[in-house]
Amino acid sequence: LAKTTQPISMDSYEGQEVNITCSHNNIATNDYITWYQQFPSQGPRFIIQGYKTKVTNEVASLFIPADRKSSTLSLPRVSLSDTAVYYCLVGDANTNAGKSTFGDGTTLTVKP
């Protein structure tokens, strides 16, 4: 499983766009990139997943450059409730059946 590197923490203010970048230099051809959000005393919650280029859903966008060695999670107009830890994971969905190696994650603090 490819190792990931994220900033330990980030601060933002309500209404701003937040971009969290994850490095995964050793990503394999079959690996997907998945982002999870975790609040204190809760299990991680799926945010978005992608393989290449750009993926967008109702809560976030995921930008993946052509070399796939990094990815950026974009949260538009954050609110106080977006304060959480965000994890970037890479892995082969077909063979790992959900087995995930978590890095340290990024603690996002949204201020009023």
Partner 1 sequence: GAVVSQHPSWVICKSGTSVKIECRSLDFQATTMFWYRQFPKQSLMLMATSNEGSKATYEQGVEKDKFLINHASLTLSTLTVTSAHPEDSSFYICSARDLGTNTEAFFGQGTRLTVV
Measured from the CB atom, the residue of 13 and 102 that comes closer to partner 1 is 102
Does 7 engage in binding with partner 1 (CB under 8 A)?
no
Tell me how far apart the terminal alpha carbons of the chain are, to the nearest angstrom: 38
What's the CA gap between 60 and 42, in Å, rounded? Answer: 20
Taking the complex as a whole, the smallest distance from the CB of residue 16 to partner 1 amounts, in Å, to 25
> Each residue of 21-36: b (16+ CB within 10 Å) or e?
bbbbeebeeebbbbbb
| Cβ 3 to partner 1 shortest distance, Å | 12
Q: Return phi, psi of residue 57, to 5°.
A: -130, -165
- Residue 5 has φ and ψ, to the nearest 5°, of -130, 125
Taking the least distance from each CB to partner 1, the nearer of 42 and 81 is: 42
Does 60 sit near partner 1 (CB under 8 A)?
A: no
The answer to whether 90 contacts partner 1 (rule: CB under 8 A) is no
> Which of 15, 100, 109, 111 forms a contact with partner 1 (CB under 8 A)?
100
Sites of contact with partner 1 (CB under 8 A): 32, 34, 36, 41-46, 49, 87, 93, 97-105
